[in-house]
Amino acid sequence: MGNYFENNDKTLCCGCRGCELICPTSAISMIEDNEGFMYPFVDEDKCIHCGMCVKVCPIKDGGYTNDLVSSEPVIYGAYNKEKTVLEESTSGGAFTGIIDSFFEDHILVCGAIFDDDFFVKHLLTDDINLFSKFRGSKYVQSDLNNSYSEIRKSLRKGSKVLFSGTPCQVAGLKAFLGKEYDNLLCVDIVCHGVPSPKIFSMYKEYLQDKYKSKLANINFRDKSIKGWDTPYMTIEFENGNKLKSIGYDDPYSMGFYKKLFQRPVCHSCPFSKVPRVSDITLADYWGVENTNPEFKNNRGTSLMLMNTKKAQMLYDKLCKNLVLGNAILADAIKYNPQLAKATDPNPKRPEFMVDVKSGYNFKKLEKKYFKRRSFLKRFLSIILNKETKIMIKKIFKV
């Protein structure tokens, strides 16, 4: 309970920038802390104590709630009919399916992209040639810049806007707008915490030094090697070098999956629950092989929660681009706990951050925290498929 401005408690700020943008005297600026996350800083000389910053905070007092969402969403498993879209998307390409269902309309889409230097930021655009940049999860906190203000301008002009982001980013937008717009559709992703952009930058520098070349492409969940179940992290360099490792064997991904450098608020996220905060929620449809085996697509299957009437009315349009099958909430939560529960922090997180603050570079962090699995483990995880791994784990009760 409470809010960030009372005593700068970092578990009460998601860095959405709503407070910075709403401030009538521009008294708030966002400053990066030594973990690499942005927090608002109030210039007391400019502050007129109007309270707008607290009013728009989505985290204050237990978190923004959206009265339009239903506690019993309609749920589907989904995968995109277009092979290339499915391959380039993280799960089933549901997000592109949603964009494409507005094909006849002129829409603006806002979502997370990599810029030319692989910084992750939100982009608002109506350029269909840029829509493919939204595809793929970027496992770094995305900088919203001034997206909320730009979206408000467009909505007021009557443009249709599709906004996507983490649940806190959607809640931040809703709180910033302060009213419902019929021409806005919000999509959130199930999220187990956003990693520090600073750690990602340290990793990029480390790679560029080690391989003596600039980065050319990063794919956190490359399915082209062994499909959706065994995602590879692939990194390409301008000099033609290419690194590929099963997600868990890449040091940055390992830190992300182990939750060593997520934003503090993520571990008490008020939006990891059903009812969700947005019209549509997307996730990986983990466990589909057990709950809905005939629906599993090894190139990826998304889980879609249609939380509002606005979303549920899109069914016919979505069917043009997506193959949809019914799913059940309890099954979804069983295999994807972050749908309904905030992610636990790694007990080593405080020590990790002390090392970051004391000046460890990425190589030193790798040595201490990201030890590669043994050769045998890596070899087995490459040659065995997911079903066999699960069977072995059951037999040996691992």
Residues that bind ligand FAD (CB under 6 A): 89-96, 111-112, 120, 134-140, 142, 164-166, 189-192, 194, 282-284, 302, 336, 338
In 3D space, the residue among 253, 61, 279 whose CA is nearest the CA of residue 161 turns out to be: 279
Q: What is the residue whose two structure tokens read 């309309």?
A: 105
Q: Tell the smallest beta-carbon distance from residue 263 to ligand FAD (Å).
A: 10
Cα–Cα distance, 366 to 316 (Å, whole number): 49
Q: Tell the smallest beta-carbon distance from residue 87 to ligand FAD (Å).
A: 10
Beta strands in 206-351 (DSSP E): 215-222, 232-237, 242-246, 280-284, 302-306, 322-326
Cα–Cα distance, 302 to 91 (Å, whole number): 5
Q: What is the residue whose two structure tokens read 């092989």?
A: 289
Cβ nearer to ligand FAD, comparing 190 with 235? 190
Cβ nearer to ligand FAD, comparing 173 with 356? 173
> Is there a contact between 265 and 259 (Cβ–Cβ < 8 Å)?
no
Q: Tell the smallest beta-carbon distance from residue 318 to ligand FAD (Å).
A: 12
Cβ nearer to ligand FAD, comparing 27 with 80? 80
Cβ nearer to ligand FAD, comparing 91 with 230? 91
Cα–Cα distance, 256 to 363 (Å, whole number): 16
Extract the tokens encoding 55: 């009013």
Cα–Cα distance, 98 to 105 (Å, whole number): 12
Cα–Cα distance, 98 to 322 (Å, whole number): 9
Residues sharing a CB contact under 8 Å with residue 347, sequence separation 6 or more, in sequence order: none
Q: Tell the smallest beta-carbon distance from residue 14 to ligand FAD (Å).
A: 11
Cβ nearer to ligand FAD, comparing 27 with 96? 96
Cβ nearer to ligand FAD, comparing 23 with 77? 77
Q: Tell the smallest beta-carbon distance from residue 211 to ligand FAD (Å).
A: 24
Cβ nearer to ligand FAD, comparing 27 with 321? 321
Cβ nearer to ligand FAD, comparing 16 with 27? 16
Q: Tell the smallest beta-carbon distance from residue 286 to ligand FAD (Å).
A: 6
Q: Where are the alpha helices (DSSP H) in the chain?
A: 4-7, 18-22, 52-55, 83-88, 94-100, 147-156, 167-177, 197-211, 251-257, 288-291, 309-312, 315-319, 329-335, 349-357, 362-369, 375-383, 386-395
Q: Tell the smallest beta-carbon distance from residue 284 to ligand FAD (Å).
A: 4
Q: Tell the smallest beta-carbon distance from residue 256 to ligand FAD (Å).
A: 8
